[in-house]
Structure 1
Amino acid sequence: MTAHSKLQRLDFNTPALQRKRRLRALKDHLARWYVSIGGLAVLAAITLIFFYLASVVLPMFQGASLERQDARQPAWLAEAGEPLLLAMEEQNQVALRLGRDGHIQFFDTDSGRALSKVALPLPEGSQVVSIGQDVPGSRRVVLGLSNGQALVLEHHYRISYPDNKRLIEPQVTYPFGGQPVSLDEQGRPLEHVAVSQNGSTLLLAASTGNQLHAVRISSTENLLTGESSQEQSELALPQLSEPIKVLLVDPRQMWLYAISGQASADVFDLRQQQLNGRYKLASGQAEVTSVTSLLGGISLLVGDSKGGIGQWFMVRDEHGQSELRNVRNFSLGDSPVTQILPEERRKGFLALDASGTVGIFHSTAHRTLLKESVAEGTAIAALSPRANRLLVESAGKLQGLVIDNPHPEISWSALWGKVWYESYPEPDYVWQSTSANTDFEPKLSLAPLAFGTLKAAFYAMLLAAPLAICAAIYTAYFMAPRLRSKVKPVIELMEALPTVILGFFAGLFLAPFLESHLPGIFSLLLLMPVGIIAAAYGWSRLPESLRLRVPDGWEAALLIPVVLLVGYGSLAVSGYLENWFFGGDMRLWLTNEMGIPFDQRNALVVGLAMGFAVIPTIYSIAEDAVFSVPRSLTLGSLALGATPWQTMTRVVILTASPGIFSALMIGMGRAVGETMIVLMATGNTPIMEANIFQGLRTLAANVAVEMPESEVGSSHYRVLFLAALVLLMFTFVMNTLAELIRQRLRGKYASL
């Protein structure tokens, strides 16, 4: 039987083969659907993560809102005199109203019902002429009287729970005695007064016309008897040429601000008891209409007759002298600003103008959150300690408003731009989310964190990319298959090493080792390429009979002793180099002679440790890309007369360039998202310094460190989510660009 007849008898359509084809088709169909569903699930998961992060972040950028309550017109308000002060306690249940008649009326904020009335111990025949308040949150008030005396008082609210019901009992105390303090010996009315208590020292300031008066009262307690005594001393201050309009004293009792009607401020140094300087507070024809201090007492908020509000504080100039500087400005409207209400727990404030418009602002974020009319004409307002309630008195009525303003300190300029913080000499990028000081304001700039992330990734890629790519090309193209089968798994096995171990090693061993062997490390970086090239040149000059004894592709094994010798020699001469060229201590030489700060845990340590972690990722993908170049291309190039080096540079690398580029992008993503190494191997300092000898903090490390300590729903919490969103967006953009470039490279070199 011929072969042709045997082929004719073969049946490819038997029932068994048909079932096998149907089963294979079903498996292919299921596999296609499985892969498709898996890919869509990954995309859906990433999309859900993005929208979840966005849902947490977006509320930070919403403005404030006011919710009006029913206006009240209690009977006692119609009989009360002109108001000097309106205030509320923390629970928003009890409010205080101080009238010019010297009586304090406590009342219920919801109903307006009178609770209790306190008559102040004013001397007979005297009246309240002026009022001044200490820093926000102190509840300390000073009253200037018509007889040249001043009375200091505090209002407190005692909370008890009889029958499991909260009871708030308001009370007025006199911390320095119920007797007024005499400031003007001639008995003239104190037109303006100011108060500041720093520890056990009270400073009172007042003005009569253009004459300043200041008294410092120190209270001491006898530890044996428990008796307290007071010592009073007057401060000698010069007379001003213009009538004073507002007086303020900073909480450290260093500066006295005397604002005149000509929109200028005379600043007195209370320690030297001399004039620091005169500063213009308003431009053009505007007049100062309202001045108060921001939380902490460092900044002044100055409102003028044109509806503008300026923030001012003392700044040291280039000569070390302090001067009052205008930091930022806000605009409420066209009417004069009549009252500024600083918040007691944040650097925000509310402002009220003569037309009854209220504005909500935040100083540091330079953000205007709300402008809304709350009254008709002139009004006086009180802001609750939690800044969630506003009480307005106007035309014999009390109007309550609920404030919703959860994240005023967040703005794009505060997150990404330079911000001029109080007591800082100039605007700067700062991340400092917590502090032990109650007057502290969070500094939530993401710029130093993003800079630290890119800095760490740059130094890691600077080390990893050349080594990994060159190793991948050599292993896939030049190395013998038997040696490759041993080298590649070993390098890929490095990727399984936990990064926390690398970070632990880098922080506890590598960082101090680098510090003590800096000359040797730099000698190693410089001499290693030279030693390898010299070894290769020497090998090429050996007799061919010797070179042929080494099998083709095993030459790299000869570099092992060269690398070990150069490394040992570089580190061995480190101490000698340090003594010869750097005075025995390279770290001190860098700091003192070159002006380069040096931290033990710095970017150099991160670059070496994280570069070691990134190398296996880049190497594995790039090696597979080079090795997958068709052998026919290599053989064809060699057959046409090209050398192996020419074939590698002009054929192999170009063909594998899409895969090599993908390896670099994936390695970059790994470096950007690395957490444990940068957390343990750096000083974790959020600074913007390109200096390789200084530390850094990355976005990922910052989220890992501070997320467990942040309050859920707070601005700090949401900014950390924004950091995670920035990382996600960066990875998405980088991967998208990488894919576009990879596809373009594939299309360009597909014809090779």
Structure 2
Amino acid sequence: MSIMKETSPTSVPELDFNTPAAVLHRRIRRTKDKAATVGVGVGGISVIIAILLIFLYLLYEVIPLFRSASIEQQATYTVPVTSAQTLYMTMEEQAEIAMQVTANGEVVFFDTLTGNTVKRQSLPVPQGVEITSFAEGSAASHLLALGLSNGQTLIFKHRYKITYPNDQRVISPFLDFPYGEQPMEVDTQGAPLTKLAIRDTEAGLTLAAVTQDGRTPITQYVKEEDFLTMEVQLVQKSIELPVREQGVLSLHIGPSQRWFYVVLEDGNLDVFDLKAGAQARLADRVQAVAQGQRITEAKLLLGGISLLIGDSQGKISQWFMVRDQQNLGQYKLQPIREFQLGQAPIVNISVEHRRKGFLAVDAQGMIGVYNTTAERTLLQETLVKGTSNLISISPRADVLLSLNQAGQIQKFHVDNEHPEVSWHSLWGEVWYESYDEPSYTWQSSASNNEFEPKFSLMPLAFGTLKAAFYAMLIATPLAICGAIYTAHFMAPSMRRKVKPVIELMEALPTVILGFLAGLFLAPFIELNLPGIFALLILMPIGIVAASFAWVNMPRQIRHMLPEGWDAAILIPVVLVIAWVSIAMSHPLEQWFFNGDMRAWLTNDLGIPFDQRNALVVGLAMGFAVIPTIFSIAEDAIFSVPKHLSHGSLALGATPWQTLVRVVLPTASPGIFSAVMIGMGRAVGETMIVLMATGNTPIMDANIFEGMRTLAANIAVEVPESEVGSSHYRILFLAAFVLFMFTFVVNTAAEIVRQRLRKKYGAL
């Protein structure tokens, strides 16, 4: 505000810009400008800091996945019983109490830290009978068996009762005899059992042995439950081997009690099919080690599907049965992967109780820690004093006991949290147990404890890109073409109605779109599949035909519609074409596809069809992405200075030439940004993909099959994952991958946008 000073009639009036009110006004304005500048700067920096903190937090959760194992010695002491050979050594859940089984039939429980004896118990071995062999059912079952010199076996379990008197944990070990304290017969001829194997399931019990005279008797007990008394009765069945094996190192029985493995010291490995009848059938015979080497140790991995073979050159190989692709219905023993510990012979292998990992020790005292699924060597270090006879890992895989020839036990603490994760297991093809070939698979959990987790992120990344591709394929042309027409050709009065309506679509919750897509759109497409394809073909043809007919109508008719409102005539055209296409669906299906187009696709073309598929996701997610792309692209096109288009028209260019040569190049940075933002929205979409697909993590570009995206997988599995577990951290890794993908795409988009802006900014 300025005040005019009093002057004479002939003087010129003067303006005073330094009045107190003007100075105060300028001071307030400067204060507001500084506050706005500081506020915008603080807001921008806060956003950057927030993004950086998210990045650091995700990295903090992910880094532990790729740490190697470490091991630290905690104690050394003498084994409780030194007068007899130690056949077996193990620990209970807390790794506080260990158990020693000796060759004289004595079981000793002792403290793992001090070696003090907690409990000592003698097994009910008959008088005058010696223990000639030993077998373990599986590490997690606690089932053990002794082979006796009279051809019988004694089966027992070690169990532990935990109590808390005075809030102090007390572990009380005891032995259990599930089949009674009387030994069970294995060899009817009563020969000593030099090798023994046992496998116990709910369906039956299988015992196999090698006798002193070279025979291999196998006895199966089928469990039958009495309907009235609920008592389980054992029905005995004997099986004979078609060959007599010599030089047997060990015997192993698979979890289904079908495959019977005979490991020979000369390097051969025989597999017999016990389901073939009274006489086992030789299913396969392989040379498991190289010529000139011998097998020194063999052990079944957790679950009993894979067999680990250690040889005299320090190599451990993994084998399991797969279907023979050349002989359908047949199986063969397949080498899967190898691990190298050193150059000395492998003397002992201890498998983990809950993971597909194992520890191995060689004759020079070197210990190796491995995981089969990840093909990962986590640790190789010489720690054992002298030659180790036995090693035992605790159920939680955090404590290791090693017994050497001098009777000394070394206790180690093992830190190995996430061995099942490696770059190869996340992004490469992995040959999983019972699979016919390597594959990309995501399956994070199952109903049993012997499950092999499958953490391949490839199906999830593929599903994310697949969903985004089909969504962008539908949304991008519709949104950009709609933005072009709305901003450049449409009448202002019509634009003021159309633009807010389309932008209002963005406020629709995606969970509603997913709900409608899953419960209405997916069944509707399945029932009217020929009509959907007819709609895709007839709609562009009908629009072009209607436009051609409108242009060639008499002027009197065309001038009845105000200029810029031409698009309104397409509304009834679109509705009629849609109605006709859907009405033709069932007749078309009867005429061309024998009444079932879905069956025709699956049976005749070999294209699987799922009701909730990528087509449904593309339509639903495209509908959600269209408002984002349309709004930004329309603003970019409408913001092109009018003098550019008016100048082009004045120079004789047609409206279409003006659009292509002037408007679109000038607006191209904004259009490109719109597409990139829409793609980011499609990549990160969760609820639509979660509700409108089968949510199956498969890698197939087929538009009629579903997928699982990274975002949907995180939403589904994070609430069910154990905090700090490998599964939990891999889900954070998936979030990190999404974060990095968005960051890279946005960075590339910004670089391209700046180049386009620099190139066309001079127009």
- TM-score, normalised with respect to structure 1: 0.96
Letter in 2 for 1:40: I
2:627 aligned with 1:624: no
Match in the other structure for 1:198: 201
Displacement, 1:636? 0.9
**Deviation of residue 673 (structure 1)?**
0.7
Deviations 1:450-498, CA, capped at 9 Å, x for gaps: 1111111111100100000000011000011111111101111111111
Tell me the amino acid that sits aligned with residue 410 of structure 2. Q
Cα distance in 2 for residues equivalent to 1:122 and 1:709: 48
> How far is 1:251 from its partner?
1.8
Cα 1:229–1:671 shift into 2, 3 Å:
closer
SS at match of 1:312: strand
Match of 2:156 among 136, 153, 156: 153
Q: CA deviation at 1:241?
A: 5.3
Q: Does 1:211 align with 2:218?
A: no
CA distance in 1, matches of 2:687, 2:26: 52
- Does residue 387 in structure 1 map to residue 394 in structure 2? no
Assess, with a 3 A threshold, how the Cα gap between structure 1 residues 149 and 571 changes in structure 2: closer, same or farther.
same
In structure 2, the partner of 1:269 is 273
Alignment of 1:348 onto 2:357: yes
Give the match's secondary structure for 2:636.
Answer: helix
Question: What is the alpha-carbon distance in structure 2 between the residues aligned to residue 494 and residue 678 of structure 1?
Answer: 18
Moved more, 663-672 or 337-346: 337-346
Deviation at 1:228, TM superposition (A): 6.0
Query: Which of 372, 396, 416 pairs up with 2:381?
Result: 372
User: Displacement, 1:146?
Assistant: 3.2
Asked if 1:730 is matched to 2:741, the reply is yes
SS at match of 1:506: helix
1:627-663 CA distances to partner (integer Å, 9 max, x unpaired)?
Answer: 0001110011111111110000010000000000000
2:574 equivalent among 563, 575, 580: 563
Residue of structure 1 aligned with 2:558, choices 547, 563, 566: 547
Secondary structure of 2:272's counterpart equals strand
- Report deviation, 1:399: 1.3
2:7 corresponding residue in structure 1: none
Using the alignment, how far apart are the partners of 2:557 and 2:73 within structure 1?
96
Conservation of the 8 A alpha-carbon contact between 1:210 and 1:239: no
Question: Using the alignment, how far apart are the partners of 1:230 and 1:487 within structure 2?
Answer: 79
Which AA in structure 2 matches 1:65?
S
Match of 1:320 among 329, 337, 352: 329
1:247 aligns with 2:254: no
**Contact 2:202–2:223 at 8 Å: present in 1 too?**
no
Query: For 1:119, which of 110, 119, 122 is the aligned residue?
Result: 122
Please say if residues 486 and 495 of structure 2, whose CA atoms lie closer than 8 Å, have aligned partners that are also in contact.
yes
Determine if the alignment matches structure 1 residue 100 to structure 2 residue 103. Answer: yes
Q: 3-state SS of the aligned residue for 1:641?
A: coil
Distance 1:609 1:724 in 2: 23
* 8 Å Cα contact 1:360-1:371 kept in structure 2: yes
Answer whether contact 2:589 2:597 (CA < 8 A) is retained.
Answer: yes
CA RMSD of aligned residues (A): 2.0
Report percent identity of matched pairs.
57
1:531 and 2:534 matched: no
Cα deviation, 1:281-307, whole Å, max 9, x if unaligned, reads 112322111111111111111111111
Matches within 5 A, 1:298-317: 298-317=305-324
Q: Residue type matched to 1:343 in 2?
A: E
- Alignment check: 8 A CA contact 2:649 2:658 kept: yes
Aligned to 1:361: 370
> 1:24 deviation in Å?
2.0
Q: What secondary structure sits across from 1:684 in the alignment?
A: coil
Matched, 1:232 2:243: no
Residue identity opposite 1:300 in structure 2? L
Deviation at 1:233, TM superposition (A): 2.6
The gaps in structure 1 that reach 5 residues or longer are: none
Match of 1:613 in 2: 624
Q: Secondary structure at the match of 1:212?
A: coil
Looking at structure 2, the residues matched to 248 and 531 of structure 1 have their Cα atoms a distance apart, in angstroms, of 71
One-letter amino acid matched to 1:274: R
SS of equivalent residue, structure 1 residue 32: helix
SS of residue matched to 2:196: strand
Query: How far has the Cα of 1:222 moved from its partner?
Result: 4.9
CA distance in 2, matches of 1:36, 1:268: 75
Q: Which amino acid aligns with 1:543?
A: P
- Please state how far the C-alpha of 1:148 moved relative to its aligned partner: 3.3
Q: 1:501 to 1:229 in 2, by over 3 A?
A: closer
Partner residue of 2:514 out of 503, 518, 522:
503
Change in 2 beyond 3 A, CA 1:292/1:643: same
What SS class does the counterpart of residue 269 from structure 2 fall into? strand
2-side partners of 1:644 and 1:693: how far apart?
41
Structure 2 unaligned regions, length at least 5: 1-9
- Displacement of 1:167 after TM fit? 2.9
Q: Deviations over 1:249-295 (max 9, x none)?
A: 11211011011112111110001121112012112322111111111
C-alpha spacing 1:518/1:69, structure 2 compared with 1 (3 Å): same
CA distance in 2, matches of 1:262, 1:618: 70
SS at match of 2:78: coil
In structure 2, what is the Cα distance between the partners aligned to 1:7 and 1:533? 71
Deviation of 1:666 after TM superposition, in Å, equals: 0.4
Provide the rounded CA distance (Å) in 1 between the counterparts of 2:556 and 2:666.
35
Distance (whole Å) between structure 1 residues aligned to residue 638 and residue 480 of structure 2: 13
Amino acid corresponding to residue 738 of structure 2 in structure 1 = L
Q: Of 71, 81, 85, which residue of structure 2 is paired with 1:82?
A: 85
- From 711, 727, 730, the equivalent of 1:719 is 730
Instruction: Quickly say closer, same or farther: Cα 1:17–1:163, change in 2 above 3 A.
Output: closer
SS at match of 2:387: coil
Residues 323-367 of structure 1, C-alpha deviations (whole Å, 9 max, x = no match):
111111111111111111111111111111111121111111111
Greater CA drift, 145-154 or 484-493: 145-154
Contact 2:75–2:113 (8 Å) recurs in 1: no
Is this contact kept in 2: 1:475–1:623, CA < 8 A? yes
Contact 2:208/2:216 (8 A) holds in 1: yes
| Secondary structure of 2:216 counterpart | strand
One-letter amino acid of the structure 1 residue matched with residue 383 of structure 2: V
Shift of 1:46: 0.2
Deviations 1:542-585 (A, max 9, x none): 22343233222111111111111111111111111111111111
| Alpha-carbon distance between aligned partners in 1 of 2:177 and 2:543, rounded to the nearest angstrom | 83
Letter in 2 for 1:391: L
Out of 33, 37, 40, the residue aligned to residue 35 of structure 1 is 40
1:412 is aligned to 423
Partner in structure 1 of residue 496 of structure 2: 485
Q: Which amino acid aligns with 1:527?
A: L
Q: Give yes or no for contact 2:433–2:452 (8 Å, CA) kept in 1.
A: no
Q: Does the 8 Å CA contact 1:211/1:239 hold for their aligned counterparts?
A: no
- 1:399 alignment partner, one of 410, 424, 446: 410
Q: Is the 8 A contact 1:136 1:294 kept in 2?
A: no
CA distance in 2, matches of 1:144, 1:7: 126
Distance 2:223 2:442 in 1: 39
- The amino acid of 1:421's aligned partner reads Y
Partner of 2:671: 660
> Which shifted more, 348-357 or 665-674?
348-357
SS at match of 1:70: strand
Partner of 1:515: 526
> How far 1:219 moved relative to its partner?
4.8
Cα deviation code 1:493-529 (max 9, x no counterpart) = 1111111111111111111111111111111111111
410-419 or 65-74, which moves further after superposition? 65-74
Alpha carbons 1:135, 1:251 under 8 Å: kept? no
Q: Find the residue that maps to 2:75 and give its secondary structure.
A: coil
1:529-550 deviations in Å (ceiling 9; x for gaps)? 1111111111222223432332
